[in-house]
Amino acid sequence: FKVSPTNLSKIPTDPVVTGASEGIGRAYAVALAERGLNVVIMSRTKEKLDQLAEEIGEKTGQKVKVIVADFTKDDIYGDIEEQLQDLNVGVLVNNVGALPTFIPCRFLDTKELDTVITKVINCNVKTMMKMCRIVLPGMENRRKGLIVNISSGIVCVPIPLYTLYAASKVFVERFSRGLQAEYKDKGILIQAITPFGVSTRLAGYQKANIVTFMPDDFVKTSLQYLRAGDKTAGSVSHTILGWFLQSIPHKLLHSELAMARMCDFVKKKTQTRIKISTTKVTCSEQPALSLHEVQRAQWELEALRSQRIHPNYSYQLLG
């Protein structure tokens, strides 16, 4: 249930957002800046970060610090800690994440599996723990802080064909809730966000509807649930969807028929969006597209060129 929004202006400045170049991370960076906070944005793509920093500065007048980091790598955290050491980090949004495959596939069918395992663990699991380790001491000393860890709605039930990704998000959820129990008496709020559909690159830029949010809308809604507990879906519709999935017997959800239909559904949706996208970007009579529509079109054309509708296509990294 919604609660009174946390007064973020009372939290020390310099919130840090990972995977901030697009999607949910970008939306959090903008939302925090709009609440009067200077922000630190991090991802691997400097050009996107610089564009976002300029946009935030022009829109809100807040200062933005850019830190370029590839979270699939192992040797980045010393530099990150050094760049953050002079800041009072009062808010951390762990958003960066890697999806092994948009089209569902069996674990052993994942292309370049050993490499993907390492990258997913580094990006989805290790980054969250390392960033918490970096900022928690300062929050504990000040007895004030907020950590938001982006998990996924699929943690509510075991999801075959997305096994590696789902398992990494279960870790995010359980780590966050355990950490909150350890530090709730220190004045630190730690919350796992478990959304379902949000129209980002990892979700193939799905069209917004009653259960699929645009990133800005989802972040605006989820911020209303900051004091709702150590875990929230961030919206009423996603909470209800989670209850519905939990009501389905695992024998049905994990049947060969259900898995085959899920694969067919995602492939057909992908192919349909590619056809629509191709029409949009090639027809000069079409009206100007929004930034989000352009990003979706670019993703779908890239998928077409690289034949990513095949179930073995390579992982995607947000940020």
CB neighbourhood size of 181 (10 A):
10
> What is the distance between the alpha carbons of residues 42 and 32, in angstroms, rounded to a whole number?
14
The DSSP secondary-structure symbol of 62 reads: -
Q: What is the pLDDT of residue 306?
A: 44
Write the burial class of residue 63 (CB in 10 Å: 0-12 exposed, 13-18 middle, 19+ buried): middle
- CA of residue 81 relative to chain centroid, distance: 22
The answer to whether residues 95 and 19 touch, using CB atoms and an 8 Å cutoff, is yes
2-6, 142-146, 168-172, 278-282: segment of lowest average pLDDT: 278-282
Name the token pair of 43. Answer: 């991802």
Please compute the mean of the pLDDT values over residues 226-249 and round it to a whole number.
89
Q: How big is the chain by its Cα radius of gyration, in Å?
A: 19
CB neighbourhood size of 305 (10 A):
9
> What is the distance between the alpha carbons of residues 92 and 95, in angstroms, rounded to a whole number?
9
Helix or strand or coil: residue 188? strand
pLDDT tens, position by position, 271-319: 655 444 444 444 434 444 455 554 554 544 454 444 443 333 333 444 4
Q: What is the pLDDT of residue 315?
A: 37
- Average pLDDT of the chain is 83
Q: What is the pLDDT of residue 278?
A: 45
- Dihedral of the CA atoms 222, 223, 225, 228 (nearest 10)? 130
> What is the distance between the alpha carbons of residues 276 and 226, in angstroms, rounded to a whole number?
38
Q: Which amino acids are annotated catalytic?
A: 165
CA distances in angstroms from 154 to 61, 134, 151, 173, 187, listed in the order given: 37, 28, 9, 11, 29
Q: Which domains does the chain have, with CATH numbers?
A: 8-247 (3.40.50.720), 252-313 (no CATH)
Please compute the mean of the pLDDT values over residues 196-205 and round it to a whole number.
72
Helix or strand or coil: residue 37? coil
pLDDT tens, position by position, 29-78: 999 999 999 999 999 999 999 999 999 999 999 999 999 999 999 899 99
